[in-house]
Copies of this chain bind each other. A is one copy, B any other.
Amino acid sequence: MSDLLQRLRERGWRLTAQRRVVAEVLAGDHIHLTADEVHARATERLPEISRATVYNTLGELVSLGELLEVSTDHRATRYDPNARRPHHHLLCDRCGTIRDVHPTGDALSALPESERFGYTVSGVELTYRGICPNCAA
Contacts from A to B (Cβ < 8 Å): 69, 71, 73-74, 77, 90, 92-93, 99, 101-105, 107-108, 110-112, 115-133, 136
A110 pairs with B103, CB closer than 8 A: yes
Each complex incorporates copies of this chain amounting to: 2
> Contacts A126-B126, A128-B123 hold; do A105 and B110 have CB atoms under 8 A apart?
yes
A119 pairs with B104, CB closer than 8 A: no
Closest to A122 in B: B130
Interface of A is mostly: mixed
Closest to A105 in B: B110
> Contacts A104-B110, A104-B112 hold; do A121 and B90 have CB atoms under 8 A apart?
yes
A103 pairs with B107, CB closer than 8 A: yes
A118 to B73 alpha-carbon distance, docked (Å): 21
B117 pairs with A90, CB closer than 8 A: yes
